[in-house]
Structure 1
């Protein structure tokens, strides 16, 4: 593929502001390209969407592009992203499309593509789609060979039944759970799954609304203040929060404190043991905990598809990102915030209060900094980082250069220098055993970067 072909896909599909970066015309061409990529006439494609105001328009356009190419379209309507991945697998479709901008604000939209095994499209597959969109040499079926549209919305019930079953929640031990759905795609199904599992459920922001009136769809501390207050005031056992498409889950403990993302990931990894997979920016607390039970941690570039690929290659039991994007290979290789929420509830049933489980995991001082760097300088700066950064430290380091440059030290401290994929910054993330050592790592890293920039 030539360098002239523009990049459309980022770390998690195509995403941008509607009519500015992601247009209906682009959506149509992506649908045509996907149809061509999977073989055109007679193929089946599942489509789902989140609650954004632009979702139905994008759905109509992509469905038209697929039918024009001779593909049948299976419509799920408004559903969480994991339902698309699961339906693509269970319905033996040839591909899946989720129309979502995930945790981004209301003006954004996006497109994420799925394989027939429930795994997101790999980078090389995305490049092929980009090439076809660029060349615009699409096959169009004749009037008598056009695809058809089918409503498969009842499949949602099958999905809910299956995640409740595999979560192994004990309905005889009901917990009080507050779930904040952000008015997103999980607004109906996440509370429904918890109720079918026997839980006492209270909902927040569970009215589907593409303006996200209750809170911004990103589930972080700033946006979950009301959930944190509600958990404490109502004496709930746990609070769960999703993003716009519900492929992510973040938990609030019974004291009303938002869980540390890395510790929450570690709690679930300990439930599975064996080999688990996470990204280069995840905490060493996961490694320490897994070492104690004889487990193993593998790291990948940021992005759930990278985690998924490594999980499959290494027969991993569990994987995920600290953002709350978790993959459950015993169910489907699509990130699933609803199943993640059910399994955290199960962990509380088995092991007791979430706050106590979180406190039992070792905590290390951490910093996250960013330094301004023009996008056109990033490549050269990172070449120098990869070549010289380790020489700044007078101690033995292990270098991992799969997504930025991560240096790991013998005491389990580490530092990662990684360019932002969407903003003009280079980010520094570091973790150490002591504040003093963390300050030292941070100072060396910042001074080194500033000299390069």
Structure 2
């Protein structure tokens, strides 16, 4: 079992021993650290935090611990209850709160849970801020409130309505165009909160929803990461129902995968590509993804005379570059759509609305839409090194070895060849180099990975 403390939050498995797993004491300590950090950095007495959780079995317990801890610090809590990551992100600025905590381990299995930390904009705190929170957790330098100064507690049950209405009000979401198509949509929400939120949105868009695993009980019926090997049931159901499209979200609803009308995967990398195609067709601008995301987004941006830039891996890094470049659209190749017109966070709900608008306006089937995009195939490999080998030195040698190619070193080493690319990233915890490749065929992508491994071995 595991406890992972990082600059983006704390994540671990429920039960076991303190400091080894996500135990009640670890939850209280980390909630205390974040609350104390906010108090130290805000020039105001009354602070308010928004909390929400996915449908994990441990969610209610963890939520109770976090809520009581924050109140114990004298911080007011607005509890959204069962929610989604993007909904909590929307509600922080909506309610003019000072920050938020999302209780979710995203795509991790049911024994995991996590605390994800938001600033007053409803965006993930920076790495620098996260390091300060971790330091506070280690020091346990907390000062709890006296009885007359305990934080207040309230609940809200209108967060999904507010989130969805903001989506419907977006100029680029054409509700009438979607309604005119009478789309039939199969939804796999892996028995979490997407089973509540997505049907509410689809109803407003005039779609017929066929629900699969939409009971928010936290009993995930398959591995909750929305990858092809986990999604056989919805692929079959889309064909059986004669549906126009299948929609898959992860437990906290920030990743969106799509299934075409034939029951085939649209490709998680292509969720962002399709949404960007629609948006950039209507407004020249900038598209952003990370260095390990598909080249297809760059290709689509270029067809619309728009620019493309890549950030280091990680949502915070994508958002930072999006703000710097004033991007129209951004996200990650794992199905994460970030649409700044709404907010700077991955959001499956706005992804669904924008994709269905695109589908309606193009007057094509999902498979026809996908066929219009360049096809790329990805490979993922790794090379395990002995502890005495300096991984940074190996990466520097690889950079020099391919200096005549287009090389980026903002996150490991990314080498862009004419027809393919390879991205080398070192593990922060093990002597491992992870190798991501993309090419015009799976065989070529896999061969490129093998060739790079051979090259690394020759440099050791």
- TM-score, normalising length: structure 2: 0.90
> 8 Å contact 2:270–2:335 — kept in the other structure?
no
Distance 1:342 1:287 in 2: 22
Residue pair 1:284, 1:412 contacting (<8 A) in 2 also: no
Question: In 2, Cα distance between the equivalents of 1:316 and 1:293?
Answer: 14
Q: Helix, strand or coil for the counterpart of 1:187? A: helix
**Alpha-carbon separation, structure 1, partners of 2:251 and 2:196:** 13
Can you give the 5+ residue segments of structure 1 that lack an aligned partner in the other structure?
A: 1-5
**SS of aligned partner of 1:182:** coil
| Matched residue, 2:398 | 389
Q: Is the contact made by 1:180 and 1:203 (CA closer than 8 Å) also made in structure 2?
A: yes
Change (3 A) 1:195 1:424: farther
Residue from 245, 257, 263 that aligns with 2:270: 263
Alignment of 1:49-68 (within 5 A): 49-68=53-72
Query: What SS does the aligned partner of 1:39 have?
Result: helix
- The answer on whether the counterparts of 2:290 and 2:311 sit within 8 Å (CA) in structure 1 is yes
Question: Partner residue of 2:290?
Answer: 279
State the SS of the aligned residue for 1:48. Answer: strand
Find the aligned partners of 1:422 and 1:88 in 2 and give their Cα distance. 33
Q: Deviations over 1:15-69 (max 9, x none)?
A: 2212343222122122212222222741000000111111111111111111111
- Report deviation, 1:133: 0.6
Rounded Cα–Cα distance in structure 1 between residues aligned with 2:192 and 2:23: 21
* Corresponding residue SS for 1:207: coil
Q: Residue 340 of structure 1 aligns with which residue?
A: 351
1:160-179 superposed matches below 5 A: 160-166=164-170, 167-170=173-176, 171-179=179-187
Which residue pairs with 1:17 in the alignment? 13
Distance 1:364 1:95 in 2: 39
CA contact (8 A) 1:7 1:130 kept: no
SS of aligned partner of 1:240: strand
Q: Secondary structure, in 3 states, of the residue corresponding to 1:294?
A: coil
Number of corresponding residues: 441
Q: Which runs of 5 or more structure 2 residues have no equivalent in the other structure? A: none
- TM-score normalised per structure 1: 0.92
| Aligned with residue 104 of structure 1, among 97, 108, 113 | 108
Give the corresponding residue for 1:27: 27
Instruction: Name which of 139, 156, 171 aligns with 2:143.
Output: 139
Partner of 2:451: 444
- The residue aligned with 1:3 is none
Q: 1:58 to 1:180 in 2, by over 3 A?
A: same
Query: Over aligned residues, Cα RMSD in angstroms?
Result: 2.2
Contact 2:256 2:271 in 1 (8 A): no
2:260 to 230, 244, 253: 253
CA contact (8 A) 1:390 1:397 kept: no
**After alignment, is 434-443 or 93-102 more displaced?**
434-443
Contact 2:385 2:432 in 1 (8 A): yes
Distance in 2 (CA, whole Å) between partners of 1:145 and 1:436 is 64
